[in-house]
Structures are given as C-alpha cells and as structure tokens.
Structure 1
C-alpha cells in the first residue's frame, strides 16, 4: 500500500499541474494580485497530457492498493496496523481531491461574487457596446476573473466573456466609463486585449 499511496501523491501533483492554469486566477483574486491570473496559461497545451498521466498514475495506485496479498504458509506474526498515510482511505481522499482539481474549470465561477451594478438609465439607447478580443484564456475558468474585473468598473451594464470566442462583449454607460478603462481592467487580470471594436 505504501507504494500505492506514493503513486497517489504523484497523481495529485500531476492533477495540480493540469489545473494550475485554472486555479491561478482564483488564487490571484484571493491574494489581491489579479495581474497573476494568466501566469500559467502556457501550460494549457500540456493539460491533456497531465490529465492522462494523472488517470494512469491513480489507476496504477489503486491496482497496487487493491491487488490480493499473496498468502504464505509461514507462521509469521500478523502485519502491524498501517499508518493512515498508507491506507486505502487516504488513497481515496487523494483520489477525490484529484478529481476536484481536474474538474475545477466547471465550478471555478463560484469563487467570484457577482458585481451586479444597478444602472439607472433614462434611455437605454445611451448605452454603448464594445467587443474586446482577448488572448491568453485557456478554459472556461478564465472567463470569471475577467468578468469580475470588468464589473468593478463603474457604468458597466452587461458583460459576456467567452473563452470559446476569445472575447468580452460589454455594454456600458459612456458617461461613466470608457473603452480604455474597460481595456485597462481586462489587462489587470494578466490577459491581453488584442483588439477592440465598438458594436452597433
């Protein structure tokens, strides 16, 4: 079981590596250093390999943990009770934590509270729309820190950030903010605005 839990620990490390580009934005938010959000985006192309390696390592760990022990005919003393770190329960906890890390992009948005600003407009025609092309997003987990930062800017009416399209569509009150201020908010997260276009 000892070698099985060493493999479990290795599986946890590869899971952390696979999830690092998604976890960093949340850690950056909690630390108050939102500029670090895209620090590990370079790991994104390696993510499928880390996930595959994690599954392989954990599978091997469970195989070692669950394979039957060979019975011997000697009258040896029974094995002492194993420390907790060498038990199947600990390997189960490692596996659960690893699964939570690998699925992190699916629930990363819950770490960001919604900044729903109430904007009172006499005429909605005064709103402007702009599309910001953004590079550096690696998964849907990257959308939340960008959305969070944009919504801190006064005068934001509606925001839609899309990893799939690599952009942020923003409706805002031009009397309270500008395209430049919104672009600056996006840049604070560490992602790069590659182009801006005012929409009709």
Structure 2
C-alpha cells in the first residue's frame, strides 16, 4: 500500500508541475505580483514528459487498486483501510490530475474580463497600433497575463497577445499613453520584450 500511496502523491505532484508554467501567471494576477509569471516557463519543454509520467504513475496506482487480492484461508479480521487508500480518493486525485493536465486549454476563461467601456469621442488622429515582440509566453495563460497588464493602462483600446506568434498587438490612444509605458507594462509580467513596429 505504501507504493500505491507514493504513486498517488507523485501523480498529483507531476500533474501540477506539468501546468505550473500556465498556473503561475493566473496566480500572479490574483496575488498582484506580476513578476512571478515567467518563473516556471522553463518547465514548458518538459511538459510532454511530465504528462506521460503522470499518466504512467496514476495508471500504476489504479492497477494496484484494482488487481485481484489473493484470499486468505484463515478467518482473520480484515484490517480497515483509511480513506487515502480507497478508490474514492484515487478517483479524486485522478480528476484533479486531469484538471491540472488540461489547465492550459481553459486558463483563458479564468482571467478577469478585458472589455473596456467606450469613453467619450476619440480623435482618430491619436489612435496608434503597435506590434511588440514578446518572448517567454508558453500558453493562453501567458497571453491573458500580458493582456491584463497592458489593459491596466489608460487609453488602451484593444490588446491581443499571442504565444504562438510571440507578440502582442496594442491599439491605443497616444494622447493618454505611449510606447514606453506599454513596453513597461509588458515587462512587468517578466516576459522579454523585443522590437516594436507601428502598424499602419
């Protein structure tokens, strides 16, 4: 049973570790410490291995739980097992592991709303759109973190980050904010900002 308990614990830990790079940006927003965001981005290349290991370890735990136990000939008293050694607990851990393994696919839903209210009439000559190169984003959670940080600035009309394209496109009112402030907002998330180009 000790091997089984170790397998259950190890499965839960590796499931969390596999999505840590995507969980951290969300936690950073709620904690108000945006610098934590890219701390675990180095885990992203290991993600497939961690997922495989989690499946293997939990599969082994289920095998140990479900394999037939040889019957004793004696009428010995059956020792009561704790809740942590039951199928119910293993089921809870397995469900938790699945939620953690799939976290990157639904992380964007958990971010605060990015919609902005239209305020007054905007002079079209003050509207600018700039594309920033942003390195270090690994999932939709990272995109949401960058978008949230930029949206905190005054004068932001629209921001769209993409981890696949390693960029963030920002439409803003240049009378209220500027490139330097936007770049600082992105840097506050701890991702690396490269070149920027104005979109005509």
**Length-normalised TM-score, structure 2:** 0.94
Q: For residues 75-100 of structure 1, what are the alpha-carbon distances to aligned partners after superposition, in whole Å with 9 as ceiling and x for unaligned?
A: 322x1221111111111111111111
Deviates more, 1:121-130 or 1:8-17: 121-130
Report 1:121-160 matches (<5 A).
121-160=121-160
User: What secondary structure does 1:168 align onto?
Assistant: strand
Report how far residue 164 of structure 1 moved. 0.9
**Distance across 1 between alignment mates of 2:188 and 2:41:** 15
Q: Deviations over 1:115-150 (max 9, x none)?
A: 433243344453110001100011122111101001
Please list, as runs of the form range in 1=range in 2, the aligned pairs for 1:1-200 lying within 5 A after superposition. Answer: 1-77=1-77, 79-117=78-116, 118-200=118-200
Q: Is the 8 A contact 1:28 1:34 kept in 2?
A: yes
Gaps of at least 5 residues in structure 2 are none
Distance in 2 between residues matched to 1:189 and 1:119, nearest whole Å:
27
CA-atom RMSD, angstroms? 1.4
Give, in whole Å, the separation in 2 of the partners of 1:199 and 1:60.
54
Q: Tell whether the 8 Å contact from 1:21 to 1:138 is kept in structure 2 after alignment.
A: yes
Query: What is the total number of aligned residue pairs between the two structures?
Result: 199
Q: SS of the counterpart of 2:193?
A: strand
Alpha-carbon distance in 1 for matches of 2:194, 2:32: 25
Indicate the SS of the match to 1:39. helix
Q: Structure 1: where are the runs of 5+ without partners?
A: none
Q: Secondary structure at the match of 2:39?
A: coil
1:171 is paired with a residue of what secondary structure?
Answer: strand
Distance 1:183 1:122, change over 3 A: closer
Runs of 4+ in 1 over 6 A off after TM superposition: none
